[in-house]
Amino acid sequence: MRRTALAIVLALFTASAQAVTITRGPYLGRPDDRSVAIAWRTDVPADSRVDYALDGSEEWTTLQSTDALTEHRVTLDGLVPGALYRYRVFSGGVALAPESRFRSPRDESQQEFTFAVIGDTNRRFIPAVIAERLVEAEPDFAIHTGDVVYPAGSDDLYDDEYFRPFAPFLRQAAVLPTFGNHDTVTERGAPLLRNFVLPSSGTSAGSRFYSFRHGHALFVSVDIETSSFGAGSLQYGWLRRQLEESEATWKFVYVHQPPYSSDRSNAFVRMILGPLFERYGVDIVFSGNAHLYERTHPICDFGVPRCKGVVYITEGGGGARFSNFRRQKFTAFVKNRHGYTLVSIAGERLRLTSHDLDGSVVDSLELKR
Amino acid sequence: MQSRHWLSGLALLLLAAPAATDPLTANTSLERLPARAMSAELEISSFDADAYHSEGPSQRIPGDLRFVTAHLRVSWAPSARLAYGAEIPYRIVEYAPALGSGELRNRGVAGAAVFVDLSHDFLQGDATLRVGYLRTAKVDDPVLSISDGADRLSVTYAIAAGEDVRPWTGYLRAGFVGARARLPEESQYGQGWIQIAAGRRIAPRIDLLLAASSSIATSAREEGSFLSKRTSRGNDAGLMLQWFVTEDVRMRLSATQTFGLVERLDGLRVVLSSRLLFR
C-alpha cells in the first residue's frame, strides 16, 4: 500500500516536473561589475536552479530558489574575474536548456577583450544572422544602442523580435541596451527594464542610465528618451562625475540619438553632452537611431583644452530599413549596411571593425592611448 | 502704368518657387508704403536660449547659447498698393559651453529673400499681403549653423492701425511658412503663426506696445538649426517701444520672452530696429 502511494506521488511529481517548459532564455544579465545574472522564463511557476562551474572543472556550484515563479533570475556572485564558466538551468528538476558558457566580468588587470555593438534590431531574420556572427566572434558582451523592439517596445513582441532571434548569443553574453525612442512608446519603456538585467549604478534604483566597468574600460549608458540630461539634471551631474572620476584607460558612452550623423543629428545631445565628452576624454560615443553605420573623424568642437578628439560611431544596422543620408564634413565613413561592430582592446590599443551580415569588415579604426 | 506694376509683382510671385522666412519679429515693418517711397530697415535680433523644451523632459543648456540675426530689408513702392522688396539675413551663432574655455561660432549670410506686398484700405487702417521667398544658404550640417538649408515660401497678412485711431496703435498679423525638406528624413516643413501688438502713445513721438505671438510647426526649425522632427509649438510675449525720430525715421526696441513651449528653444529675444523712409 505504502509503495503504491509513493509511486503515485513520484509519478505526480515527475509529471508536474515534465510539464515545465522553458519559453524564453536562458539569457544573461549584468547586475554589477562582479556578477552575472542568468534569467529564463517558464510556462508554469516553478523553482529556479543554476549549476555552474569553471570551464574545464567538474566542481559544480548550485544556486537554487524554491520560490515558484515563471520569471527566473539567479545572480552568480563571487566569480573569478574574466573566467570562462559553464552553466545549466533547471526548473521543476528538469534541465531546461543545453549547457552553455559565459565569461565573467573582467577586472582592471585584464586588459584584453572584445565587445560588440548592435542597434536598431528589427525584422527577425537579420538579428538572427547577427546573432550567429556574434556567437562566432565571442565578444564578452554587447551594448545595444537602442530601439531593441519595433515598433513600440511592447512586452508581447520581445520574444519574437528579440529573444528568439538572438537566443544563441544571449545564452553566452549579456546585452546591455540604452533606451531608444521606439522602446519608450509603451509604458515609457517599462518593458525594456523588465526584460533586461542591467547595472543599477545610476543615481537611484529607478534610474534609466547606468555605467559599468569591464577590464580597464568604462561604459556609460545615457538615457535621452525618458530622462532629463540638461544642465542641472540628475543625469547630467551623474554623467559628469562618472567621466571625471574614472581612471579607466578607455571611456565609452552610448546614447540612442547620434549627436553627429549624416542622417539626422540630435542637436541637444551635441550641445549639452558634446562638451562633456570632449572635456573628460571619452574615446568613442556609440549611437543608433539612424539605420546605417557611420564613423566620424575625431571631433573637438567646443574649445576644450587638450581635447584629444571624440569619435562618434552610429551603429543602427540591426535590421531596420535603411536611412537616407547625406555625407557630412565630419564623416570618415558612412554606409547603409546591416551588421554589427566589434571593438577589440589590448592594453592601450583599440581596434574597431564594422561588419556586414556575412562577417566581412566594411570599415575599421585603430586608436592608441 | 498701374497694370505694369501688377504684372511685375506677379512675375516676382512666380519666381518664388514653392519650397519661406521665419515668422516676423515684433519689430518687423509690414505696412503700406507711400507711393514712390523706398524703405530701408535694419533689424538686429539677439536671442539667448536657456533651455529646450521637448515633448518629454526639458533640457537646460549648460552654457551661453546666442543667436544674433541682422536683417537688412529694402523695399520700393511704385504705387500705394504695391511694393517689392528684398532682404538679406546675416546670422551669428555663438555657443560657449560652461565646460569649455572656448566657444563654437558660426557666422555668415543665411540666405536672400524677395517679397511682394499688396496693400489695401482696411477699416481705419490698412492691410498688406506679403508673399516672400527665402533662398537659404546651403549647409552640410544644420546644427548650430547659420542656416538649416531649407528654402522657404511665406505668406503673411497684416492689418495695421492707422492714424485715425491715435493715441492707440497696433497691428494684427498671421502667416504661413512652408519649406521643402533638405533631406527626406527631415520631412516637409509647415508653420502657422499669429502675432498681435497693441499700445498707445506715452510721450511725444513714443509709443509703448504689448506684443505677443503664437505659432505651431510640423517640426522644430529655429534660428538656422534643425532641432527636431516632432511637432513644435510655442508663444512669446513682451514689450515694444516705438520712437518716431522724424516722420520718416522710426526706431523700435522690443524684448519678448518665450512661454508654453513644446519642441522649442526657451529664451529672451531683444530686437532693435530702425526704418528709414525715402520719399
C-beta neighbour count of B193 within 10 angstroms: 22
pTM of the predicted structure, to 2 decimals: 0.88
Considering only residues 265 to 294 of chain A, which have any Cβ-Cβ distance to chain B shorter than 8 Å? 265, 267-268, 270-272, 274-276, 278-279
B101 touches chain A (CB under 8 A): yes
Considering only residues 319 to 358 of chain A, which have any Cβ-Cβ distance to chain B shorter than 8 Å? 323-326, 328-330
Name which of A227, A233, A275 is nearest B99 (Cβ-Cβ). Answer: A275
Collect all residues of chain A within an 8 Å Cβ-Cβ radius of residue B96: 303
B204 touches chain A (CB under 8 A): no
% of chain A at pLDDT higher than 90: 89
The vertex-A347 CA angle with A344 and A348, nearest 5°, equals: 95
**More confident of the two residues A364 and A303:** A364
> CA of A208 to nearest chain B CA: how many angstroms apart?
14
Residue indicated by cell numbers 568604462:
A218
Name which of B57, B65, B101 is nearest A271 (Cβ-Cβ). Answer: B65
Q: Kindly identify which residue of chain B lies nearest to residue A271, measuring between CA atoms.
A: B61
Residue indicated by cell numbers 531574420:
A125
Contact B59 A270 (CB under 8 A): no
Residue A11: what pLDDT? 44
Residue B58: what pLDDT? 85
Using pLDDT thresholds of 50, 70 and 90, give the confidence band for residue A204. Answer: confident
Residue B183: what pLDDT? 65
Contact B101 A305 (CB under 8 A): yes
Q: Is the bond preceding residue A177 a cis peptide, omega within 30 degrees?
A: no
Q: Is the pLDDT of residue B12 over 70?
A: no
Residue B162: what pLDDT? 87
Residue A201: what pLDDT? 87
Q: Is the pLDDT of residue B14 over 80?
A: no
Contact B185 A276 (CB under 8 A): no
What's the count of helices (H) and strands (E) in chain A, helices before strands?
8, 19
Residue B11: what pLDDT? 47
Which of B143, B183, B223, B230 to substitute to test the interface with A, most A CBs within 10 Å? B143
Q: Is the pLDDT of residue B114 over 90?
A: yes
Q: What is the average per-residue pLDDT within B63-72?
A: 96
B62 touches chain A (CB under 8 A): yes
With 0-12 CB in 10 A as exposed, 13-18 as middle and 19+ as buried, what is A18? exposed
A52 touches chain B (CB under 8 A): no
Which of A234, A302, A336 to substitute to test the interface with B, most B CBs within 10 Å? A302
Distance CA A180, CA A198 (A): 15
Average pLDDT, chain A: 93
Q: What is the average per-residue pLDDT within A64-93?
A: 96
Residue B5: what pLDDT? 52
pLDDT in tens, B146-194: 998 889 999 999 999 988 899 999 999 999 999 887 666 667 889 999 9
Distance CA A321, CA A290 (A): 10
Q: Is the pLDDT of residue A264 over 70?
A: yes
Task: Judge contact between B224 and B111, C-beta under 8 A.
Answer: no
Which of A271, A292, A297, A324 to substitute to test the interface with B, most B CBs within 10 Å? A271
Q: Kindly identify which residue of chain B lies nearest to residue A223, measuring between CA atoms.
A: B57
Angstrom CA distances, B153 to A368, B21, B119, B159, stand at 50, 7, 19, 20
Q: What is the average per-residue pLDDT within B118-140?
A: 91
Sort strands A36-54 and A22-29 into parallel, antiparallel or unpaired: antiparallel
Q: What is the average per-residue pLDDT within B126-142?
A: 90
Which one-letter DSSP state was computed for residue A160? I
% of chain A at pLDDT higher than 70: 95
Strands (E), chain B: 37-53, 59-79, 82-97, 104-109, 111-122, 125-136, 152-161, 168-179, 189-203, 206-217, 220-222, 225-228, 232-244, 249-262, 264-278
Residue A220: what pLDDT? 98
Q: Is the bond preceding residue B167 a cis peptide, omega within 30 degrees?
A: yes
Contact A267 B65 (CB under 8 A): no
Q: What is the average per-residue pLDDT within A86-112?
A: 96
**More confident of the two residues B225 and A121:** A121
Collect all residues of chain B within an 8 Å Cβ-Cβ radius of residue A323: 185
Q: Kindly identify which residue of chain A lies nearest to residue B229, measuring between CA atoms.
A: A264
Residue B269: what pLDDT? 97
Task: Judge contact between A86 and A52, C-beta under 8 A.
Answer: yes
> CA of A278 to nearest chain B CA: how many angstroms apart?
9
Contact A302 B100 (CB under 8 A): yes
**More confident of the two residues A117 and B221:** A117
Which of A188, A209, A268, A273 to substitute to test the interface with B, most B CBs within 10 Å? A268
Residue A305: what pLDDT? 83
Name which of B100, B185, B186 is nearest A303 (Cβ-Cβ). Answer: B100
Contact A279 B104 (CB under 8 A): no
Chains A and B: how many Cβ contacts under 8 Å?
Answer: 104
C-beta neighbour count of B64 within 10 angstroms: 14
Alpha carbon of residue A345 to chain centroid: 17
Considering only residues 218 to 257 of chain B, which have any Cβ-Cβ distance to chain A shorter than 8 Å? 225-229
ipTM of the complex: 0.81
Q: What is the average per-residue pLDDT within B120-133?
A: 92
Residue B88: what pLDDT? 96
Q: What is the average per-residue pLDDT within B38-56?
A: 93
Collect all residues of chain A within an 8 Å Cβ-Cβ radius of residue B51: 230
Using pLDDT thresholds of 50, 70 and 90, give the confidence band for residue B103. Answer: confident
> CA of B64 to nearest chain A CA: how many angstroms apart?
11
